Structure 1
Amino acid sequence: MLTNEMQMRAELLGKVLATGIEPLTALDHARKLWDFIDYGNNMISVTVTDDAADIFAECDIIGIRHGADGQWHRIAANRVVYDAEPAVFASHPIYSRIGPICVDDQHLVEIPAFYVRTERTGDEQTWLVSSRPAGGFILHPAFRNPDGSVAKAIRIGAYAAGQRDGDVAVGAGLKPWTSVSFDAAQERCEAIGPGWRMWSIYDLSAIQILAMIEMGGTDMQDLIGRGQVDGGGVVAGGDSRARWRGIHELWGNVWQMVDGLRIAADGTINVWSIDRPGSGEWVSTGVQYGPGGDHGYPVSLHSERGNGFDLSLLFLPSEVTSDQDDALIGDWVWGHWEGRETVAYCGGSWGLGVNAGVFALNLTHARSSTGTHIGFRPAFAI
């Protein structure tokens, strides 16, 4: 056998083993992959059939499960629990392509498109991601353009929006732009240029899913850093440890408005269409927000799906508790203000202590609300 052929086979087997699959199963999958490789004239051509697509996809499926034991476990394509070393994420086709980029003098972080699958069986809940289509997976709606076409990536403000000469500026050392209404924040984001908008609940969801898989849980204060949550007022962008993959102040410092989610006056959850997010097409899910006006830590999450919506992606609590030890997620959620339409804020502000976090959510405010503790973050898709 030629040396390059041996090396190729070894590399295929290594990649399949890296997913956590048992050795004999991995060997079988590697053989199937090899069958699709045709050598000729020292050139390699790879033909992928429909059946082979799932085999290739399994090589990069990675996820996390909250088990019946109450613990978080990283899992591979075959749901085998494993301890992922940093090198797994450094070479993973999704995580390895997350990185900083500067556009129009705005500092952003680019996240490549990925596919997602959620599962719920009894007390177990699972989130899986793949860089390729695979059985049971859908394109995460953060990567769907308003016209329904597929975006190759999203670019998220690396910092909350600041201001320079009356315009939005995203960069280190700038204090967040606060005391603006929801509508005004939308307008300021759109004024940056074509395609710019306020970040959405789907952008946030994509970040939440990727972060909890990489970090192995949801308590980012413990897993990454406390952040600006213990008093002292608002600090400049980049001055806290609340950051993941170059996205700073994901929790603490100031609340951040997010588009694409609102609770109707009667308590019905309304979201952007997952087929045309950001197009102005809203979906009334017909689902009542579970906790109503109650505040607390999420015990269980909404997982309803329907025409144009999938709540299993959004980490919306269907039930809350005041006891953090009994919670699924240890970030506080503020309930809906009954009788009025409310918008969503995320992350928490500088005085919320352990209640702040990347899953913290505030559903009490009208779109006209303002405050020195409320900011926003721009984004766009490409």
Structure 2
Amino acid sequence: MPNTLDRNDLRASVEAATGGKVTVLYTEKGQASYMYKVPRFNRQDIDSGLGNGTHPMFIMDGVEKNHRYIGVFPGTVRDGELLSLPGVDPEASRNFDSFLSVARANGPGWGLATNVDYTGLSHWCWANGFLPRGNTDYGRSHAQKFETATRQDGQSPGLSSGSARTLTGSGPAGWRHDNTPWGIADLCGNVWEWSPGMRLVDSEFQVIADNDAALSGIDLSAASTLWRAIDGETGDLVAPGSANSVKLAHSGTADYTLVASSGSEFEGIANPGTNPVSAAAIEVLKLYGLYPVGAGIGGDGIWSTLTDERVPLRGGHWLNGSRAGVFALHLSHTRAYSGSNIGARPAFAV
């Protein structure tokens, strides 16, 4: 089995070209995958409303990590493995469990970019004053229509027909998370991305602690015993179905219940309960990307269906316009759903 972290000529050239931001890791079958090395950062350095300490993106099984590897590009499947490669059609039309399976087939340490990964990246972008654009209008940016990428169906940017996925990383630097040619591409638009480690069950928010969902051997099934609700008074992670757990509704003033109509702005989530969600619990919700970190996060949307288990998608797709973005959260599909506008991104845990 190849050693994932062995250096070779391709890796050396990529690291030299990107100043070490991007590297190449190898899968069980020896296939290359282009990965961004995200350095650890602190909660308080993003915003005081997140508390103190290491951001949960970098905490796995109680251990703080110095960095996290995230696919530079949405994943594509080659020989039964999920790879991050430039200039290809992102894989789509697979359900959650299928994407998780091909990501874990890469070998130990591999999996999907998680809900907490997307949250950490969105927090970093917001704190750095740049929210990336992307394929949000059939191959172009809805906000700056001169920004285009190569459509996989061969059609012209802006033509409102066809499956307007764009080839990975084929957009401009403004479609990268750090506004440079070497940043993480396509976090806004193109395809929605499955993001394990969080779910909505009969309107109750449930999470897996910290970034434990990144661990390649962890149980992410619907029946996993690792799922925890969030106590609306204390912010503690508690058993699903516990009294005072935080829920989501489309209207009303129920206790410990956030309110956002489906398709509305994520930034507009309200906390109108007769007994509102406490400040301590809001802090926890922010850390899991379930409440706005602050003002000025754009018009990114939140969608939800409040029955059964709904597994999150992040980022938006090619026709979501202003509702796509790094904070966009879709909680309307079951884990069995698939579509031509839904993909996923590989990640690696050290």
Please, what TM-score do these two structures have when normalized by structure 1? 0.61
* Cα 1:268/1:227, change in 2 over 3 Å: farther
Counterpart of 2:344?
376
Hey, what's the Cα distance between the residues in 1 that align with 2:19 and 2:210?
24
CA gap of 1:165–1:352, structure 2 versus 1, over 3 A, is same
Residue 253 of structure 1 contacts residue 350 of structure 1 at CA under 8 Å; is this kept in 2? yes
Equivalent positions of 1:149-160 (< 5 A) are 149-160=63-74
CA distance in 1, matches of 2:107, 2:213: 19
Residue in 1 aligned with 2:53? 138
Return the structure number with greater strand share.
1
Residue among 22, 31, 42 paired with 1:115:
42
TM-superposition CA deviations, 1:48-89 (whole Å, max 9, x none): xxxxxxxxxxxxxxxxxxxxxxxxxxxxxxxxxxxxxxxxxx
- Kept in 1, the 8 Å contact 2:289–2:327? The answer is yes
Residue 374 and residue 244 in structure 1: after superposition, are their counterparts in 2 closer, same or farther (change >3 A)?
same
Secondary structure in 2 matching 1:109: strand
Aligned ranges for residues 274-285 of structure 1 at < 5 Å? Answer: 274=210, 276-278=212-214, 279-280=218-219, 281-285=226-230
Select the residue among 212, 229, 239 that pairs with 2:170. Answer: 239
Residue type of the alignment partner of 2:24:
C
Match of 1:253 in 2: 190
- 1:376–1:277 Cα change, 3 Å: closer
The answer to whether the 8 A contact 2:199-2:205 is kept is yes
- CA distance in structure 2 between the aligned counterparts of 1:340 and 1:97, rounded to whole angstroms: 46
Q: Give unmatched runs, 5+ long, in structure 2.
A: 1-17, 27-31, 135-142, 150-156, 220-225, 231-244, 249-257, 272-276
Name 1:41's counterpart in structure 2.
Answer: none
RMSD value, Cα:
3.1
Alignment pair present for 1:299 and 2:232: no
| Alpha-carbon distance change, 226 to 259 in structure 1, aligned in 2, over 3 angstroms | farther
The answer for the alignment partner of 2:246 in structure 1 is 287
Query: Does residue 75 of structure 2 align to residue 161 of structure 1?
Result: yes
1:155 alignment partner, SS class: strand
Please give the per-residue CA displacement for 1:251-307, whole angstroms capped at 9, x wherever unaligned: 111111111110012x11001112845444221111012236532012247786779
CA contact (8 A) 1:252 1:348 kept: yes
Q: Say which of 315, 319, 325 aligns to 1:347.
A: 315
Quote the offset at 1:357 in angstroms: 1.2
Aligned equivalent of 2:22, options 100, 104, 108? 100
Alignment deviations for residues 145-185 of structure 1 (CA, whole Å, 9 cap, x no partner): 2x321222100000000122343221101111111110111
Give secondary structure in 1 for the equivalent of 2:327. coil
Query: Closer, same or farther in 2 for the Cα pair 1:371/1:111, shift >3 Å?
Result: same
Structure-2 separation of matches of 1:217 and 1:270? 29
User: How many percent identity over aligned positions?
Assistant: 26
The equivalences for 1:157-236 within 5 A come to 157-214=71-128, 216=129, 218=131, 220=133, 230=158, 231=160, 233-236=164-167
Amino acid at match of 2:59: R
Contact 1:97 1:112 in 2 (8 A): no
CA contact (8 A) 1:334 1:364 kept: no
Correspondent of 1:365 among 324, 330, 333: 333
1 CA distance for matches of 2:118 and 2:199? 14
Letter of the structure 2 residue corresponding to residue 114 of structure 1 = F
In the TM superposition, what whole-angstrom CA distance separates every residue of 1:192-218 from its partner, at most 9, and x where no partner exists? 11011111111111111111122x254
Q: Is the 8 A contact 1:208 1:358 kept in 2?
A: yes
Distance 2:114 2:35 in 1: 15
With over 3 angstroms needed to count, the CA separation of the structure-2 counterparts of 1:312 and 1:98, relative to structure 1, is farther
RCO (CA 8 Å, sep 6+): is it higher in 1 or 2? 2
The answer to whether structure 1 residue 316 and structure 2 residue 290 are counterparts is: yes
| Amino acid in the other structure paired with 2:56 | P
Indicate how the Cα distance of structure 1 residues 367 and 252 shifts in structure 2: closer, same or farther if over 3 A, else same.
same
Q: Hey, what's the Cα distance between the residues in 2 that align with 1:97 and 1:310?
A: 34
Q: Given that residues 310 and 332 in structure 2 are in contact (C-alpha distance below 8 angstroms), is that contact kept between their aligned partners in structure 1?
A: yes
Q: Distance in 1 between matches of 2:211 and 2:93?
A: 33
Letter matched to residue 268 of structure 2: V
Distance 1:168 1:275 in 2: 20
C-alpha change, 1:274 and 1:305, in structure 2 (3 Å) is farther
Greater helix fraction, Structure 1 or Structure 2: 1
CA deviation after TM superposition for structure 1 residue 140, in Å = 0.9
What is the DSSP-based 3-state SS (H/G/I as helix, E as strand, rest coil) of the residue aligned with 1:163? strand
Q: What is the CA–CA distance in structure 1 between the aligned matches of 2:121 and 2:20, rounded to whole Å?
A: 11
Q: Is the 8 A contact 2:301 2:329 kept in 1?
A: yes
Which consecutive unaligned segments of at least 5 residues does structure 1 have?
1-95, 119-125, 130-134, 319-326
Pairing 1:127–2:47 present: yes
Distance 2:63 2:95 in 1: 30
